[in-house]
Amino acid sequence: MAEVGLRRSWPSAPLRLQSGMPPETSAPSSVPPGFRPPVVVAGLAAPAWSPASIEAVMPGVSVVSREPLETGGYSAAWFERVGVEGPEGARSWVLKRMDVRDDWFSRGTHDPVGREAQFVASPLLGSVAPRLASPYLAVDTGTEGLSALLMHDLGPDLLPDERAPLAADMEAQILTCLAGMHADHWGRLAPYDWLMRPQDFLTVMGPHSRGVAGLGSRGIRDAVIGGWERVLEILPPLVADALRRPPEQVAVPMADLPRTLVHGDVKVANFAALPDGRVCALDWAFVGWAPATFDLGWYLAVNASRLAGSREDVIARYRVALERALGTPIDEVLWARLEEAAVVCGAFMLLWSKVRGAEERGGEWDWWVDRLERWAHQIVTP
């Protein structure tokens, strides 16, 4: 089964911890406990940034080394590992610089400002910290589409980017953290216009993505377009017709669902299991305001080989976690619609990558098609 993910924000590295639970012998966490707002460092986004820009706002810290990092993935971000010495001893940090003018994810989701940096610089980052640890030390929201983030180097603690099921306790912890974040912002109005909207999630890699300016980085354009052409050929006509509809039209029936803050790219490899037991989330480039189950749908789609149980098991675990965090049950009618939104989001973003599974009867492909047929019967008028 094809599994395509968006590991855009970190180099691969061996893991010390995979279960998400504190080890028997305590090790210092790469991210200190307690939320510390990132400092603003002007000029950090410049290609020729100066170490003095960091040293000026972080007393006692000296930059002692810099080296480029190759991370793979599909974005146009640049990475450097930055070695520093300071009051806490020698440390390794990572600098991520972005230019939305050169990044097809940014252009495909109507991001003219550098969404991830805007999020890190906003109060939203602090609102997430009780649920998901923050790795960010400094931010430069920049100008003319340039932005930068300075982070703790979490390489040893990152969950591996591999095709093997997660430990059940680790998956439960991730789902619980996400559900808590969703509950904390449940039903509120979007506080910023740079947050991704439901139609943005349905557009970026959906059947209409071929019309997105800038789509074509590192061969992904051909994979997306070719995948959708084949998918729409072999799907039941009713489902293909539904998926061909404009994303704005598909999003209309979801307009009255509760909206909340969503991470947007909950690939397992975008989380770190810290030695003190906390979970840290990276790569907020798709952060948005949408139904909570948009995160659930993407989790099911992008982590197909990483699920600790069946897709139904994951859905059930997430619902329990969300209801617990909300402090109230979700009625069956509303939950059915939220679950449907998860399926629609996951399909629009990644069904193109699962076409090889069409020949594996009873597998993942059949699960998505069965769920999509139920949805399509409701929105397509015979």
CA distance 188 to 182: 10
Which fold, 168-379?
Answer: Aminoglycoside 3'-phosphotransferase; Chain: A, domain 2 (3.90.1200)
> Do 30 and 139 meet the contact criterion of CB atoms below 8 Å apart?
no
Per-block mean pLDDT, blocks of 10 residues, the chain (382 long) = 31 28 43 87 91 88 92 78 92 93 80 93 96 96 90 93 95 98 97 96 89 59 88 96 96 97 97 96 97 98 97 98 98 98 98 81 86 92 60
**Cα 186 to the center of its chain, rounded Å:** 18
> Do 303 and 280 meet the contact criterion of CB atoms below 8 Å apart?
no
Output the pLDDT for position 16: 27
Output the pLDDT for position 10: 29
State the sign of the Cα–Cα–Cα–Cα dihedral 101, 104, 108, 111. Answer: negative
Q: Where are the domains of the chain?
A: 39-157, 168-379
Q: Angle at Cα 371 formed by Cα 224 and Cα 360, nearest 5°?
A: 65
Output the pLDDT for position 362: 61
pTM, entire model: 0.89
Output the pLDDT for position 23: 32
> What CATH number does domain 39-157 carry, 3.20.190.10, 3.40.50.720, 3.40.50.300, 3.30.200.20?
3.30.200.20
**Up-side HSE of residue 62: CA atoms within 13 Å toward CB?**
6
